Structure 1
């Protein structure tokens, strides 16, 4: 076993028995490189990464390769999900140098952690124009020993270039109607009208952009925005991206038609998409959206919830195919023969027609990914239900994909928001309870007595890595949603505690935000990225949470900070709207107010109070801040001085310092909050 044996990360533990003498990230590894006068090989990946596993099997488990590495390098392995700051800094360098990035990420550093050579996956033999990994290692070693001055010069220039990439903040104003209209136009130009989604292959689920489109439609009535959101959601849900048997979404589609996924299932994707489909149902009443939202929520609770009540990070793309081989997609795909074995000939033919299973296959080796046809209504519903149940039971007997059990604070925050809202919309108190339990875990295990977050935990033990901006912002987002759904003001208090850290430790004097705190470990550059990637950027997530908190509390500093943070969306939204979807959604809330809704009654559980509360939660007004409680309660600031009306429960709606007359009628409340 190497030095990774004592680590908590499942990804690092996967490499603990490699013949490579791995070190975890830290000063000790850099000091060892300086003592030996050798370069550092930094390898970054994550547990559900297919090509990370491939490179590990081909190179890191190979004794000859390991011997060369151990002799000429100090080898450092990083889980990008534990250390997104380390990943972000060196990924920025990789992308700047090569024009692309990805995982596994392979970077060679000096003992001062300065990068000088980059790549991603390297094969064991030269392939498709790529050098072999051994060739790369030999070349780097030769350059280090024979052209050291050149190596140091390159490293110095790269660090200097990265240091000059600070984001110019501009006028720090939130975007207005013009910028949002330009963003919508840009999305329309990139929209794939035939297949849904944006751009070509590979296609990633555009969760944050869909949230913007739904809010924009709700605020302006733009039917084109709703059409793009609705059609994209339908195409994703009917394609192979969505698990037609077990619910939940894979990471992305390798093709433009959403047929063949990259099979890993990530917590952040499914939390975001669960919420998106719930919001789509709220806007349209779509039965497909309702079903997908609930099935995805059930997937989260069934397959990703940990024993401690949090949510695990991911399920692997690969699993045992039944012959001892670890194969991508083995758990999910079907051949006609496999259908017949489980269902018998007649029902197998029905299933093949229904799910799009062909003799040629839609994946590899004659296997097909299950899809849902547009014409499912022509099939006998009872037969299809029976087929579905039998296939799901048969699949459950297959070797399951591995699970990365670490609990990431940010992604659990997203899951808390999704489960709380989905549970409230569809009268599923069990989902709300799952959200509460996850929130309890974050408070108990990830939050210290000063309100500082730890990024990860596993098996009930907190990790050593400090929370980054997305952790504070996404957990605050989850707590704010939970406060609105449960009527428990303590979650608003915890959100405020986290957001105070955002203002004091992650923002500079001009209001720009950084991904790491001012007192965090110093890297070659303090990472700062306002653009969304697989999940909302910490920057835009913070803007959204600050805005909602300000609406709940009337806090001018939080409102001003949100407006300043949205200044970057004003700059980027018209140019690259696909990459600031969460910021554009927050801007919609900003332009809408957001509206402040206080629901008061003799008790939150009172039937009339619940009717008003449910109406408020189902409102499509972008970013509405909803508080519910007894008249005279001090649980929420919005409830102050809000009496019953004629002894009956009432709802108060305010916006831009102006309040409507209170109403006791859910229909009037709905009219005030929709459109």
Structure 2
């Protein structure tokens, strides 16, 4: 391959007469990226360089860079593309996806690298590529348009817009040339361009109707009364009807971990002690951890299972999934005492530290489902699958037989002739069959997993999306802070603090968060999710460490959320603030899917802050969030399953747990904390501080700490509820008894 710095902007089919981007910016970026530059295209010149290069090479998003050498003349979203569409009176094709999206890759290879399609597209449309993880606001608007049209959505998301940015048609994946798989992409392009030219009034009418539908879908509903327990009861009733009582989760396939909100069921079980709820949760967590959706070699969960048994995953791994599931398994461990759940939580956190960590302390976004097979072809899942022969080559015959028996590795396999590892048999049964002790078999299994990890690391790796997203890192901070506290793992708490410090130092400018961090620089204004998830992480970090600085930052950032995102009229929070681009609609997030909505997380943040600080403004804002979404919670409570966690907190009598240790001797609180770590107490706040400066600073933020002291060389625990505190104690058993009692 020639020196990549010799690359110039290349003409693209169908772009005659169109403006070209500044060549000097290409040259500057090539010098900076150096040998890391790799064209991802089948259109290579004899010297190995790319035949085509478009404007996306100037971007930092991994997803946009994947399309930088398509013959399609892609523009990033922005004024240049919109102005050119108006000047030429051309519709825009806006194609939205993300770097680890399998079907986005397929459509790129089939359609966006096809020169015939590219030439027609370039000559008749203004093509725009958007990374949905960079611009969730645009994704929300145009996904709502597609859902208004078709009742469903997905990625890649392809929307056709008027030059004013109003949608008039859309879809997801299109095959390139039609045939037996639906109308081909090239035919769709020709039909839409013909309609745009032949009947502009109808296109304008359609775009206006769709725009109004989007505004209605994203607009806030009228505020109502704060919901009561009935909203939770309706949601639980719906989930009961959907439960898969054999495999766990929701009946049918595909199976997403978020489809059955286990943490909500945990809270309802705590209130009702209904064994069916606990059984459903246990079955779900157990089977997920033993299925192929869980990476049995490295730890960490894939995005979802395509079958009903959690066995065949879609192989993407997302930071947000793993952070959220780590917390779920931690709560499962607290509630059931099952050490397998604690093991899974530890392994997920270990996976994130080992495979997803970015320099400086933050975490990357995701890894791809696809990787290269031995023939050099991109194949979904090859990296994660095994054959009996491969096990023997890595482990030897004796070890390989044990691993194959435990993880169900067979000659025929369960996926494209290979096997996705899953716990097909229990270890004690395999150990007995192979005439080994259970302890010996467990040791062999652990050693073998590490050997398989090392062998797998020598395969071509799936692509890592190296964006650092503030919101997803906020979820990771919560996972590590909670994991460090519950599992008594100081290194996990240190990781949470390291990640939080990175965001504060590298992604906070003039008191406001950036949305992402790429190529050494913060990018874009923070959205509601960024603030909400990061604030939640900082509250968890305060509870794990007792350091007042984290709570001070929480109050500063919460003030920004109130000033920039709050709906002063109806309550709740918009996704965007005054520094964001004004789009055809402004979203007020009202759906908890794979990722909770910013409103649900902010409701919980405000309730926790109110209990910690006793400032009424936080409680008032939380009430206004519930009021703003009362109609949704009444009509469709499962749409806001995460907000129901906050509602449960609000309707309960949440506790303040305060532990004061002697100055310089936090370890003296260890006996008390040991009893607290194993208790499932979701509706509480915690402050563990040492006397002296830390207590004095913390008491300014948490009034309940005022006047609280240790007793000589012993830490003292104070348990308060509804503005009343029990007698303090240093006795772990008395403390545990008090924790277990419910008024």
Structure 1 window deviating more from structure 2 (648-657 vs 76-85): it is: 648-657
Task: Please say if residues 407 and 422 of structure 2, whose CA atoms lie closer than 8 Å, have aligned partners that are also in contact.
Answer: yes
User: 1:368 pairs with 410, 419, 424, which one?
Assistant: 419
Shift of 1:316: 0.5
What residue is the counterpart of 2:731 in the other structure?
Answer: 665
Residue 481 (str. 1) matches residue 517 (str. 2): no
The residue that corresponds to 1:381 in the other structure is 442
Kindly state the Cα deviation for residue 337 of structure 1 after the two structures are TM-superposed.
Answer: 3.0
Query: Deviation digits for residues 103-136 of structure 1, max 9, x if unmatched?
Result: 0000000111000010001111215552111011
1:29 aligns with 2:89: no
Please tell me whether residue 416 in structure 1 is matched to residue 464 in structure 2.
no
Q: Is the 8 A contact 2:407 2:425 kept in 1?
A: no
Is it true that 1:239 corresponds to 2:298 in the alignment?
no
Measure, in 1, the Cα distance between the counterparts of 2:271 and 2:478: 22
Question: Shift of residue 477 of structure 1?
Answer: 0.4
Distance 2:76 2:419 in 1: 40
SS in structure 2 at match of 1:257: coil
Measured in 2, the distance between the counterparts of 1:573 and 1:287 equals 35
Question: Corresponding residue for 1:167?
Answer: 220
Runs of 4+ in 1 over 6 A off after TM superposition: none
Answer yes or no: is 1:592 the counterpart of 2:652.
yes
Look up the match of 1:469.
528
Q: Relative to 1, partners in 2 of residues 1:619 and 1:233: Cα closer, same or farther, differing over 3 Å?
A: same
- Is 1:655 matched with 2:721? yes
- State the alpha-carbon separation in 2 of the partners of residues 10 and 323 from structure 1: 25
CA contact (8 A) 1:613 1:628 kept: no
Report the Cα offset of residue 208 of structure 1.
7.7
Deviation at residue 648 of structure 1 after TM alignment: 3.5
Contact 1:308 1:460 in 2 (8 A): no
**Distance apart, 1:530 and its partner CA:** 1.3
Q: Which has the higher contact order (CA 8 A, sep 6+)?
A: 1
Within 5 A, what are the aligned runs for 1:557-568? 557-567=617-627
The whole-number CA distance in structure 1 between the counterparts of 2:548 and 2:314 is 41
Rounded Cα–Cα distance in structure 1 between residues aligned with 2:709 and 2:445: 53
Aligned to 2:32: none
- Where does structure 2 lack aligned partners over 5 or more consecutive residues? 1-52, 432-440
**Structure 2 CA distance for aligned equivalents of residues 303 and 268 of structure 1:** 14
Q: Assess, with a 3 A threshold, how the Cα gap between structure 1 residues 339 and 644 changes in structure 2: closer, same or farther.
A: closer
- Indicate yes or no: 2:257 matched with 1:196: no
CA contact (8 A) 2:507 2:517 kept: yes
Secondary structure of residue in 2 paired with 1:307:
coil
Say which of 591, 608, 624 aligns to 2:668.
Answer: 608
Counterpart of 1:67 in structure 2 is 119
Q: Which residue of 2 aligns with 1:552?
A: 612
Residue of structure 1 in register with 2:550 after alignment: 491
1:318 positional shift: 0.5
1:85 aligned partner: 137
Cα distance 1:479–1:606, how it changes in 2: closer, same or farther (>3 A)?
Answer: closer
Query: Take 2:484 and 2:161, find their aligned partners in 1: how far apart are those partners?
Result: 48
Alpha-carbon deviation of 1:61? 1.4
Question: Does structure 2 retain, via aligned residues, the 8 Å contact 1:208–1:581?
Answer: no
**Post-superposition shift, 1:172?**
4.1
Q: Which residue of 1 aligns with 2:563?
A: 504
Structure of higher CA gyration radius: 2
Instruction: Map Cα deviations across residues 412-463 of structure 1 (whole Å, 9 max, x no partner).
Output: 00000101111222232221111111100110121122x2111000243101
Q: Could you report, residue by residue, the CA deviation over 1:450-501 in whole angstroms, capped at 9, with x for unpaired residues?
A: x2111000243101x2111111100000000001101111111111122222
TM-score by length of 2: 0.87
**Counterpart secondary structure, 2:384:** coil
SS class of match (2:254): coil
* Structure 2 residue 175 is matched with structure 1 residue 123: yes
Q: Which residue of structure 2 lines up, in the alignment, with residue 138 of structure 1?
A: 190
Matched, 1:213 2:279: no
Higher mean C-alpha displacement, 540-549 vs 451-460: 451-460
* Distance change >3 Å, CA 614–CA 559, structure 1 → 2: farther
Gaps of 5+ in 1: none
CA distance in 1 between counterparts of 2:559 and 2:160 reads 38
Superposition deviation, residue 350 in structure 1: 3.1
Question: Contact conserved, 2:98 with 2:104, CA < 8 A, in 1?
Answer: yes
- Relative to structure 1, the CA distance from residue 434 to residue 2 in structure 2 (aligned partners, 3 Å threshold; closer, same or farther) is same
Secondary structure, in 3 states, of the residue corresponding to 1:106? strand
CA-atom RMSD in angstroms? 1.9
Give the TM-score normalised by structure 1: 0.96
> Partners of 1:663 and 1:375 in 2: how far apart?
44
Aligned partners of 1:616 and 1:626 also within 8 Å: no
CA distance in 2 between partners of 1:268 and 1:315 (Å)? 12
Match of 2:400 in 1: 348
In 2, the alpha carbon distance for the partners of 1:25 and 1:614 equals 52
